Amino acid sequence: MTDCTFGFVGQKHKFVVVAADRSAARSIVVFKQDEDKVLELDASKLLGSAGSAPDGVAFTEFIQKNVALYEIDNGTRLDTFATANFIRNELAQALRRGPYQTNLLLGGLDRESPLYADDEASLYYIDYLASSNKVNFGCHGYASNFILSIFDKEWHPDLTVDQAKDLVQKCIDELQNRFLINLPE
């Protein structure tokens, strides 16, 4: 059960940060404190999941394998926009059969190519109901009540990597201070 995933783009869209808490818990018991909930789809894409843990793991691994398959089949990597659409489509088809209860944040960096004039980092906020939005910053779960305000205030398009780290730390501090559920990491 993930309680918090958040992410943002930085420095004129040259990098993207995706962060998630590390607790794996059910009901009142915490199983482990070092779970990694941000999956690397490939060398330039991250998929953070929030919500139900089994759906999150199953779905994100499914996406990871399909992205790898695309690269093997077609010899070229999917860009972030295409990946977001693929994810959205899979979620939408499953929605009316047996929905995945997982919210996702897809962060990706598209290298300079015919499609992109320059390196372009983007973040897609994908809901469990399969709606996809390209955003500058996003947050899933109860933590969004706290973190979105921090982003509204502190995020700007020209964040450097150091400023980004500070921003992440600010978010973590706020959660540890004000959020009921104890998220040590």
Partner 1 sequence: MSIMEHNGAAMIAMAGADCVAIAADTRFGLRQQTVAVDFEKVFRMTDKTYVGFGGLATDVQTLRAALRFRLSTYELKEERVMKPKAFANLLSHVLYEKRFGPYFVEPIVAGLDDDGKPFLCGMDLIGAPVFCGDYVVSGTCTPNLNGMCEALWRPDMTPDELFEAISQCLLASVDRDALSGWGAIVHVITKDGVTSKRLKGRMD
Q: Which residues bind partner 1 (CB under 8 A)?
A: 88-89, 91-92, 95-96, 125, 127, 129-135, 138, 144-145, 148
Which has the closest alpha carbon to 52: 102, 121, 86? 102
Distance (Å, whole) CA 24 – CA 120? 33
Beta carbon nearer to partner 1, 25 or 123? 123
Give the shortest CB-112-to-partner 1 separation in angstroms. Answer: 25
Give the shortest CB-29-to-partner 1 separation in angstroms. Answer: 28
Distances (CA, A) of 58 to 55, 65, 148, 176: 5, 11, 28, 29
Give the shortest CB-149-to-partner 1 separation in angstroms. Answer: 11
Give the shortest CB-115-to-partner 1 separation in angstroms. Answer: 20
Beta carbon nearer to partner 1, 95 or 161? 95
Beta carbon nearer to partner 1, 109 or 126? 126
Q: Is 139:5 a contact under the CB 8 Å cutoff?
A: yes
Beta carbon nearer to partner 1, 24 or 146? 146
Q: Which amino acid is at 145?
A: N
Beta bridge partners of 71: none
Distance (Å, whole) CA 105 – CA 103? 7
